[in-house]
Each structure stands twice: as structure tokens, then as C-alpha cells.
Structure 1
Amino acid sequence: MTRRLLLGYLSLAVLILLSLGIPLGYVYSRAEREQIISSAEDEAESVSAFASLSITAGRERRELPHRARHCAERIHGRVVIVGGDGKLLATSHALSATESRNLASRPEIAAALRGRDAIDVRTSTIGGVRYLSVAAPVVHGDVLQGAVRLTVPTDAVESRVHRIWLLLAVGGLAVLTAIAAVGLVFARWTSRPILELERFAHRLADGQFTTPAPVTSGPQEVRSLAATFNQTAARLEHLLASQRAFAAEASHQLKTPLAALRLRLDNLEAEMTGHARDSLNAAMTETDRLARMVEGLLAMARMEESAVTREPVDLDQVCAERLLTWTPLFERHGAHLALLGDPVGHALAVPGAMEQILDNLLSNALRATPLGSTVTIVLRCTAPDRRHLPGRPAWIQLHVIDEGPGMTADQRRRAFDRFWRAPDAPKGGTGLGLSLVQRLAHASGGEATLARAPGGGLDAAIRLRPAPRASEGRPAQGRPSRIGLPRRVRSDRSTPEAAPPSARSPV
């Protein structure tokens, strides 16, 4: 920010200096040129008047050469006086025979011999030196007696013009240097509190806000912004604390009565017969659905209460374990579960997120898949990423593909909304499963998408960033189907019955 402010100050200063310096230089250059032309014209008129008197008195041969030399010395140039017939009368310097014969053909002398009233001014280069030529007619009354030509070198004027341009450039650089020094101080004074506020904003985004941002330095607007930021941060911290307290209290206050209600309904099952048993089963189903909804809401509340840290997760191992856990339930419902693809290694994800994502997606697929069909878990890697992890894939993709009825494009767009369920969705869902999947994917730095499967059904895809190689402490273990089963499955995994089932639309 400091560089941008300083660049803005210097750009404005350069624009002002150019707007003032260039016109000033041109005005000075024009004034110098007009001054030398005016001086030459005055000298030409003076010599012309003197020549007219000398020619009238018949003393031109005696007086004019002396006058020409004297004038040439004063103007540091050359003076030539010709008669009315174009013949040389006097000169301040020696002329060759050719020059003497061609004097009348010179444009400025020819114009003066034609009796022009205005003084003719021309610029020419002689011997590599630029000269200003001024010619004036010699007139006595109405009689044209001859012409006078003065040639004045312009190198002195050009030297003065170059010097003034150099002075303007040096002065402009000095002004820019001063503006840069003052602007740097002002830019740092302005940007330092903003950068400090940005640092505190990043800390707040990471959940590490402990001290308020300073509000004692910088412009008044920045101090007011810092004060507003501190108020917002304090209010946000209070809201997060309230949400954490609600999640902790609701977890106990809601789950305990539901568990007690479920237990009482189980105790009544043995005493119920006929239609009463059907009503009891419906009540137990709704109780389980309510319990799953509470779990989903609490899970999303815990996700939103603070930022979470992403860690390397072995996707091969996670998929293999979830395959072992869910396969018996799929077989019980007359469906098949398969795991395909090549080992993908570790991906960055929130701890425990991939297990919840897979449980929700597999529960969705199980509800929608027809008898005898197959749900496939596919792992694959995209092309290597040269920016983030050179030599590593840009994304690791996890697909759960079923052979059910699928969704329309409009239903896929709304599938991640909370509590939304498709009109033809199987009963028992809560409308929270896919919403939780999406939030877990975003918290892990990836994304969740739904697409139509090639053979019909739905393709639920999760994209995650690969973890750096240094974080892969051990090689990925094999998995069933094309890759062998892992040697051991952790015993603390939730069973399919305990996993939150999700409907084809969000559960």
C-alpha cells in the first residue's frame, strides 16, 4: 500500500511538473529566438539607414566597409551591402568570386531588392553552423538604392535554450525527490495503521483475536475504522461464545431426552400388537429422524463456530474403512458397494470430515439405489499443479456414483440448501446431509458438486487439495476390490446404523 500511495503522489507531481515545465521551456525558447530576431532586425534597419545616407552622399565606397565590419563585430556575425543592381558595395568578411556574383540570387537579398517593405528573415546552415539571415532594402524616398543582409549565428541562443531546459529538468528532479521523501513519510503514516488493521483482521479470521487493534495512529478515518473493527470483533467474539455455549448445552439438553424417549418406545414394543405396533414403529422412526436432525444441526453449528485447521488425511485408508463398514448394510438391502481407482495418498481436510462426508453420501446412495444395482466409490487425481505443489496433482477427487433415478438440473442446484428435499425423495430424510457435506468440503479447502452419472443416477464429487509430500508419514494402504483390504480397521468407527443416513435429496 505504501508503494501505491507513493506512486500516486509521484505520478501527480510528474503530471504537474510536465504541465508547468514544458510550457515554460517553450515560452523561454520562443522569447530567446524572438529577441535575437528583433536585435538583428534593428541592426539591419540601422545599417540600411546609414547605407542610404552614404549612397546619397556618394561616400558608400569609403564609409560602408568600415560600417559593415563594425556592425559584424558587434553582432558576432556577417554583414553584406549590395547596390540596386545587385553588385557588392561592402562586406565584413572576404567573399569568393562565386559568392560575389551570386549575391543577388540569394532569396533574402532578392526579396529586399524587389523593394519589400517588410524585413525578410530566414534561417540557414553554413559550415555546420546555423545562421539567422535578416535582409532589409536600402531606400531613399521612393528610390530603391540596394539591400543589406545580416547573418547572425544562433549557437549562443540555442546554448541558452538548452541550458534552461537542463535547469528545468534538474529542478523537476529536485522537486520530485523532495515530494518522494515527504510522500514516503506521509504514505507510511497513512498505511501503517491500515496494514496493522489488516493483520488483526487476518488473526480474527483465523480465530486468534485476543487484543484489539490500535486506534491511536493514522488519519482520523483510519482510527474510526479501527474502532469500528474492534467493536465488530468484540461482538463477533461474543456471538461465537454464545454459539459455542448453545452447541454444548443443546448437545446435552436435546440428545438426552431423545435417547430416553427412544428407550421408552423400545420398552413398549413388546406390549404392542396390531395397529398399535404400526403406530409405535412410526413413532420410533420419527424419533430416530429427529435425533439425526439434531445431530446434523449440532454438527453444522460446530463447523460454523470457529475456524478449523486442515490436516493431511489418508483418503485411501478412509475409503477402505468406510467400505468395510458399509458393505454389510448394502448387502442387506440387496445392493453392492465397490471401490475403484488408484491410490491417491493424502489430502488436506478437516479431521473427521471425510468420514462424515462418505457416511452422508453413501447413506444417500443407499436410499436411492434400486435392488441389484451398484454404488461405486472412485478416487482419482487431476493433472499435476505447477503453482501449488509442483509434481503433485492439482486436486484429489472422490466420487460416489449410484444407479438411482438421479436428479434434475434444478434439483441439483438446490440440493445443498438446508432442509430442502426433492418432492420424490425417499422418506426418513432431514434435508441436512448434503448441506453438511458441502460445509465440510469448503472447510477442508475443497468443494462438493453434484452431476448426472454417465449411466443415469447421481455422481456426487468431492475435490480436495493434496497434502505436501513431507506430511505423508507412511504409504497409503491398499483397499478392497481392485486394491487389497487394509490390515486392520479401527474399532471406533461408527456403524452404518449410527451413521447419519441421508436421502437422495439432502437429508
Structure 2
Amino acid sequence: MRRLFLFALLGVSIVALLLSDIPFGLYLYQVERDRLITQLQRDAFILGGRAEDALEDSNTTGLDTTRDLAIAYRDEGGARVVIVNTAGTAVVTNDPTDSREGLNYGTRPEIAEALTGRVATGQRYSDTLQIELVYVAVPIYSGDSVVGAVRLTFNEQAIDDAVTRSLWGVYLVAFITLVFAIGLAFVISRVLSRNLVHLGDIATRLSHGDLSARADEPDGPKEVKELAQNVNQMATRLETLVQEQKSFAADASHQLRTPLTALQLRIERVREGLPDNPELGERFDEIDGELSRMRRLIEGLLALGRSSVEDVTRAPQDIGAIVRERVEHWRSLAEESDVSIQVASPESAIVWAVPTATEQIIDNYIDNALSVMPDGGELHIDVAVSDGETEVRVRDTGPGISAEDAERAFDRFWRGGATHEGTGLGLAVVKQLALSSGARVSLEPHPEGGTVARATFSRTA
């Protein structure tokens, strides 16, 4: 949670910096570039003013002075200078190692434009120098007449480097802002995540059945405080509802069993007071069967209700020992139907489940299997331990179950095509107990006939 807040705040900070600094950097780049171009234009006009008289009078001494000035300009980091007369012939250059004086520059577009009296600026690739050049060409006036032109060319990369140096201040401010944002994000994430982690712990305790869990009054934003209050109100309401449902289950258990037991006793007394009559005996047997079915239905409903609201604190249980114990409990009933029970289980297999869940799940599986198996069948109960889980498999040799019926078998009151007595609540109780225990249950047809009932428990809390 803390990392999530930290990364979110850092992301917002970085996006904000990018949205502000990138446009500003582009703007500053353009401004700085325009400033350098303007400076080149100013320098070109100054050099042109120095060469004006020499060009007008064809004064060699004046041109020598202008040449020395252009060379000094370049030595101080200035541009390459070419000064041409009205014919476009270079009369002054400032490259002492590669003098191009006497060459005709009139075919250069920028020179031709300057000789017409206009200022030309731009950028182009120089085939001679094999570099990208930024140029400025200005006319040289003597009165109203153009007597020549000055062209300054500068390496475009040098201009970019100069602009980049100016941008380092922006980069430094952005870096300092980012460092400050990281520190602020770390502090804020600690405050926010601490409160939310605490609320998450409270929610986890509630989900595991600790209905007494309450959130402390948090420090922080108003919204977090309101969330803590709402969690506490929800926990109080949940605790009240669970207590009410527990009380109802207990009261209903007593209130429903008592009249059924009294009714059954009265029917038995009436039956004893009547003369023996086979037809009446069958009717009384039907009534007794319906009362027994009603009692089982009520017991199943109450068990299902209790499994939904009782404490779900899980505890370690030795399912290997529990399986052997439950098999001994059912063995005598199985022997009456000549059903043999085969058990394969390790001596000890610890799993985590809510109290009595493993016993009730195993009892339901064995009871369902014995109720559908023909005489002389076999019931196989296996306990398999794997990494992190333990699975209990109960396989019978009964008529089996279809894949469609297996998917619905754990629904409440669903009995499928069963012909034996039942309420359709046993497997629903199994499913609820498994959910409370963090276990998985399923039914599936076996390829060789019969049904396989599975219950998979976790070996860790």
C-alpha cells in the first residue's frame, strides 16, 4: 500500500514536471536561438559599417583593417565572415588558413538576397564544410545605395550547445523539484498508507470472524477519518446481526424441536390405544416418516444457519485421526448392508479448519454414499497430502452421478433424481463449512462407476 501511494505521488510529480518543463525548455530554446541570430545580425551590420568606405572607394587599406577586425572577431568565438562587393566577389574573409577572397559568392541565395537590400537569415547544409550552418546576410549601404554585403555563418551545433548551456539552469531547478517531490511523496505516503493499512487489517480481522475488531481514530484527511468511522459502524452492525441470527437459531432449535417431539409422542400414544390394524399401521408409519423427515429438515436448516454465522476462527486438526474415528462410527451401519470400507491415510495429517467442520463434511460424504450404495458395495476413503494441501476423497460404488448433477449437488434443497430419503441440505451445509474453513469441495463421476466426493483443506493457517 505504501509503495502504491509512493509511486502514484511520484508519478504525478514527474508528469507535472514534464508538462511544465518541456514546453518551457522548448520556449527557452527558441528564445535563446533567436537571441543569438539577432546578435549575429548586429555583428554583421557593425562589420558592414566598418567596410562601407573601403568598398565605396575600393580602398585596399580600409579592407585590410576590416579583415583584421573580422579575424579578431572569429578568434573571440565569432562566426565566419565573408564580405562581398556589388558583383558578389569576396573582398574580405576571416579564415587565415583558407582564404576565399576573390571567389564569386553571388550565386549564394543569401548573398544575392542581401545585395538586393534585404536581410537574409536561415539554416542550410554546407557541402564545402560538411556541417549544418546558420547564416545571416545583411546589405552594406552607402547612402541609399548597396555597395556590398556581409555574410556571417555559424556552426549550428555550436548554437545548440550554447542554448543547452542556458537550459542547464532549468534542468537543475527541475532536479531540485523532483528531489523535493520524492521527499514529500515519501512522507505523505507513510501517513496515508499507515491509516489505510490499519483499516485493511481491521477488515481482514472482520472477514475472519473477529467481530470485536474496531479501527482507531486515525490521523490524516477528513475522508480517512470518515472511512474509519464507517468501518466501525459496519462492524458494530455486523456484530449485532450475527448475534441476532445466533439467538434466532438457538431459539428456533428449541421452539421447533419441542412441538415436533410432543406431536410424535401423542401419535405414538394414539397408536398404542388403537387395536392392531395393518392398514392403520401403514398410515401411522407414513406419518412417523413425515415427522422424521421434518425433523431432519429442521436440523439441516438450523445447521446451515449456524454454519453461516458462527465464529470462523480456524484451528489445526488431525484429519487423518478424524477420518479413522468417523469410519469406526459408520462401520457398523455399513456392515448391515454388507458394505466394506477401505481407508488409506497417513498416521497424521494436520489441516486448518473451523471446529467440527472436518467431522461434519466426512459424515455427510459417508452418509450420502451409504444411502445410495447397493448391498455388497465398497467405500474407499483416501487422504492424500501434497505441498500446502491435504485432500480427502470418498469414492463409492453406487449408481454414480452425472456431471450436470454434480455441479448442482451443493445447492440448497436440491436432491436431483435421488430416491432415498433426504432434505437436500446436507451438501449445502458441507459447502458452507468448507467456505468457512477456506477449503474446496466437489463431486464428480468416477470413470469406473460410482461417485467421488472431494474435500481439499489447507495445511497452513
* 8 A Cα contact 1:296 1:436, kept in partner: yes
Alignment partners' CA distance in 1, 2:459 and 2:51? 100
Going from structure 1 to structure 2, the CA distance change for 1:210 and 1:467 (only over 3 Å counts) comes to closer
How many residues are paired up?
453
Write the deviation string for residues 114-150 of structure 1: whole angstroms up to 9, x where unpaired. 9754536557799999975545566879998665444
Going from structure 1 to structure 2, the CA distance change for 1:284 and 1:35 (only over 3 Å counts) comes to same
2:395 counterpart letter in structure 1:
I
* SS of residue paired to 1:104: coil
How much identity, in percent, do the aligned residues show? 32
Alignment partners' CA distance in 1, 2:71 and 2:34? 20
More off after superposition, 253-262 vs 109-118 = 109-118
* 8 A Cα contact 2:389 2:457, kept in partner: yes
Cross-structure match for 1:484: none
Cross-structure match for 2:212: 210
Write the deviation string for residues 389-434 of structure 1: whole angstroms up to 9, x where unpaired. xxx5243222222233333444323221222222x32243122111
Going from structure 1 to structure 2, the CA distance change for 1:104 and 1:121 (only over 3 Å counts) comes to farther
Match of 2:455 among 462, 466, 472: 462
Match of 2:369 among 356, 365, 369: 365
* 8 A Cα contact 2:412 2:428, kept in partner: yes
Alignment partners' CA distance in 2, 1:70 and 1:162? 29
- 5 Å matches for 1:309-328? 309-328=313-332
Write the deviation string for residues 202-234 of structure 1: whole angstroms up to 9, x where unpaired. 232233343643456443333333333322222
Deviation at 1:305, TM superposition (A): 2.0
1:282 counterpart letter in structure 2:
E
Going from structure 1 to structure 2, the CA distance change for 1:463 and 1:217 (only over 3 Å counts) comes to same
* 2:419 pairs with 1:426: yes
Alignment partners' CA distance in 2, 1:356 and 1:271? 40
* SS of residue paired to 1:358: helix
Alignment partners' CA distance in 2, 1:55 and 1:393? 98
* 8 A Cα contact 2:136 2:152, kept in partner: yes
* SS of residue paired to 1:354: helix
Deviation at 1:435, TM superposition (A): 0.8
Alignment partners' CA distance in 2, 1:453 and 1:36? 87
Alignment partners' CA distance in 1, 2:230 and 2:133? 73
* 8 A Cα contact 1:44 1:134, kept in partner: yes
Cross-structure match for 1:500: none
When normalised by structure 2's length, the TM-score is 0.82
Deviation at 1:356, TM superposition (A): 1.6
Alignment partners' CA distance in 1, 2:192 and 2:353? 39
Question: Structure 2 regions of 5+ residues with no counterpart?
Answer: none
Cross-structure match for 1:68: 67
Deviation at 1:248, TM superposition (A): 3.0
* 2:441 pairs with 1:448: yes
Cross-structure match for 1:488: none
* SS of residue paired to 1:451: strand
1:299 counterpart letter in structure 2:
A
Question: Structure 1 regions of 5+ residues with no counterpart?
Answer: 382-391, 469-507
Cross-structure match for 1:490: none
Cross-structure match for 1:194: 196
Going from structure 1 to structure 2, the CA distance change for 1:270 and 1:185 (only over 3 Å counts) comes to same
Write the deviation string for residues 260-314 of structure 1: whole angstroms up to 9, x where unpaired. 5555656666666222322332333333323323332332232222332323333
- 5 Å matches for 1:364-403? 364-381=368-385, 392-403=386-397
* 2:431 pairs with 1:438: yes
Match of 2:176 among 158, 170, 174: 174
* 8 A Cα contact 2:140 2:147, kept in partner: yes
Write the deviation string for residues 73-95 of structure 1: whole angstroms up to 9, x where unpaired. 45733544455677764455634
* 8 A Cα contact 2:84 2:150, kept in partner: yes
* 8 A Cα contact 1:367 1:426, kept in partner: no
Write the deviation string for residues 459-505 of structure 1: whole angstroms up to 9, x where unpaired. 2211112359xxxxxxxxxxxxxxxxxxxxxxxxxxxxxxxxxxxxx
* 8 A Cα contact 1:344 1:379, kept in partner: no
* 8 A Cα contact 1:29 1:161, kept in partner: yes
Alignment partners' CA distance in 2, 1:166 and 1:113? 39
Going from structure 1 to structure 2, the CA distance change for 1:368 and 1:122 (only over 3 Å counts) comes to closer
Alignment partners' CA distance in 1, 2:299 and 2:404? 28
Alignment partners' CA distance in 2, 1:218 and 1:306? 36
Cross-structure match for 2:225: 223
* SS of residue paired to 2:343: strand
Deviation at 1:446, TM superposition (A): 0.9
When normalised by structure 1's length, the TM-score is 0.75
* 8 A Cα contact 2:444 2:452, kept in partner: yes
Cross-structure match for 1:339: 343
Alignment partners' CA distance in 2, 1:342 and 1:186? 53
2:11 counterpart letter in structure 1:
S
Cross-structure match for 1:236: 238
* 8 A Cα contact 1:84 1:145, kept in partner: yes
2:436 counterpart letter in structure 1:
A
Match of 1:414 among 408, 419, 427: 408
* SS of residue paired to 1:351: coil
Going from structure 1 to structure 2, the CA distance change for 1:371 and 1:127 (only over 3 Å counts) comes to same
Alignment partners' CA distance in 2, 1:401 and 1:240? 37
More off after superposition, 359-368 vs 149-158 = 149-158
More off after superposition, 429-438 vs 290-299 = 290-299
Alignment partners' CA distance in 2, 1:130 and 1:244? 87
Deviation at 1:329, TM superposition (A): 1.4
Alignment partners' CA distance in 1, 2:177 and 2:70? 44
2:64 counterpart letter in structure 1:
P
Going from structure 1 to structure 2, the CA distance change for 1:458 and 1:138 (only over 3 Å counts) comes to same
